[in-house]
């Protein structure tokens, strides 16, 4: 199943060899930024571990329907993994497997565990049940407690090369120009590219963010204020959050030296000045700020910054 993961050839080869030889450690930590496919990769590993020969059982793991692959993820408005879920997982993995080689305990975005949940998991990792594979995913190794991290074999997923990302997007029906734009913005994170490409409203917000960057680069105060006006109603608050996230992504790309097709070049100093303002706007919005006011203040700040310092 691991062959379904795009790119990351070295990682796939190492994991496949370990699985085939029965040398995979009982605890594996998969790391990667959003959109790189770490949770998908974890399910692929789970399928190969539980059903080496493939078949319906392996497909059930990928579809989230396998009783042998127990999944825990963040929940509720707080978006955390509570200790109760980890304790339930510990009890469940000790039950006898039904039809597979063993059992898998998958904890998605493990950095969201409460402290008590992490401690509960640590106890299971210290004395793992026979035949149980613990799979954890996180955006980085540093996000996981050292006591847990030290008991896991860590692997980090890499983004796709831009050309490969464009090819895969085009293969799924995305126009080449849009594919090149998305791949550049999201740095080869295929999952994020697909999310934007498959949702016209989501893609429109990204384009709006790109237009905002262009207007800012020109110091077009009127244009920036007009763009901010798009978020004047309360119903636009969620859209404003996505817009600001994409705006940060575009400036981060400029800071990283990535050229965005159709976008004027933004210098690293200009991007470095803009990013703190965007982050501050996002913070204010999360604190129940008015979307129009937040975006208007950001527009003024960026316009003034670019007028003062080219």
- Domain of 118, CATH number, reads 3.40.50.300
Q: Does 32 fall in a domain? A: yes
Mean residue pLDDT of the chain comes to 91
Residues 44 and 134 in one domain: yes
Q: Does 161 fall in a domain? A: no
Tell me the mean pLDDT in the region 202-216. Answer: 95
Residues 14 and 149 in one domain: yes
Count of C-beta atoms within a 10 Å radius of residue 52:
15
Q: Does 21 fall in a domain? A: yes
State both tokens at 297.
């203040």
pLDDT in tens, 259-281: 899 888 888 998 999 999 999 99
Residues 137 and 7 in one domain: yes
The residue with greater pLDDT, 111 or 234, is: 111
Per the structure, the count of domains in the chain is 2
Q: Which residues of 206-231 are buried (b: 16+ CB within 10 A; e: fewer)?
A: bebbbebbbbbbebbbebbeebbebb
State the pLDDT at residue 98: 54
Residues 27 and 138 in one domain: yes
DSSP secondary structure string for all residues of 144-192: S-HHHHTTSEEEE--PPPHHHHHHHHHHTT--HHHHHHHHHHTTT-HHH
State the pLDDT at residue 306: 67
- Confidence band (pLDDT; 50, 70, 90) for 81? very high
Residue 70's φ and ψ, nearest 5 degrees, are -95, 125
Is the four-CA dihedral 219, 220, 221, 225 of positive or negative sign? negative
Tell me the mean pLDDT in the region 109-130. Answer: 92
Alpha-carbon 65 to chain mean position: 23
Q: Say if residue 258's pLDDT is above 90.
A: no
Q: Say if residue 308's pLDDT is above 70.
A: no
H or E segment to which residue 72 belongs: strand 69-72
Q: Say if residue 289's pLDDT is above 80.
A: no
Q: Which class for 257: exposed (0-12), middle (13-18), buried (19 or more C-beta within 10 A)? A: exposed
Task: Say what the pTM is.
Answer: 0.86
Residues 148 and 207 in one domain: no
Q: Does 177 fall in a domain? A: no
Residues 127 and 205 in one domain: no
Taking a C-beta distance cutoff of 8 angstroms, is the pair 29, 138 a contact?
yes
Q: Say if residue 309's pLDDT is above 60.
A: no
Range of the domain at 304: 199-308
């Amino acid at each position: 199943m691991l062959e379904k993961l795009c790119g990351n050839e070295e990682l796939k080869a190492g994991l496949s060899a370990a699985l085939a030889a029965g040398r995979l450690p009982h605890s594996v930590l998969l790391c990667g930024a959003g959109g790189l496919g770490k949770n998908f990769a974890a399910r692929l590993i789970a399928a190969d571990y539980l059903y080496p020969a493939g078949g319906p059982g392996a497909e059930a793991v990928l579809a989230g329907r396998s009783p042998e692959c127990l999944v825990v993820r963040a929940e509720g408005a707080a978006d955390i993994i509570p200790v109760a879920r980890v304790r339930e997982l510990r009890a469940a993995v000790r039950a006898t497997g039904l039809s597979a080689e063993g059992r898998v305990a998958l904890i998605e975005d493990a950095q969201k565990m409460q402290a008590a949940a992490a401690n509960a998991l640590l106890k299971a990792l210290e004395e793992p049940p026979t035949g149980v594979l613990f799979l954890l995913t996180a955006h980085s190794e540093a996000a996981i407690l050292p006591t847990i991290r030290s008991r896991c074999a860590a692997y980090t997923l890499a983004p796709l090369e831009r050309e490969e990302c464009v090819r895969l997007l085009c293969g799924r029906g995305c126009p080449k120009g849009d594919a090149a734009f998305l791949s550049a913005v999201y740095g080869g994170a295929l999952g994020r590219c697909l999310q934007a490409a498959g949702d016209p409203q989501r893609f429109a917000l990204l384009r709006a963010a790109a237009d905002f960057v262009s207007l800012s680069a020109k110091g077009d105060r009127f244009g920036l204020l007009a763009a901010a006006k798009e978020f004047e109603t309360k119903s636009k608050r969620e859209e404003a959050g996505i817009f600001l996230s994409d705006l940060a992504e575009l400036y981060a790309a400029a800071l990283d030296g990535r050229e965005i097709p159709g976008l004027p070049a933004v210098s690293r100093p200009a991007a470095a000045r803009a990013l703190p303002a965007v982050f501050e706007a996002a913070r204010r919005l999360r604190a129940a700020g008015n979307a129009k006011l937040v975006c208007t203040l950001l527009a003024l700040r960026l316009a003034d910054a670019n007028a003062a310092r080219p």
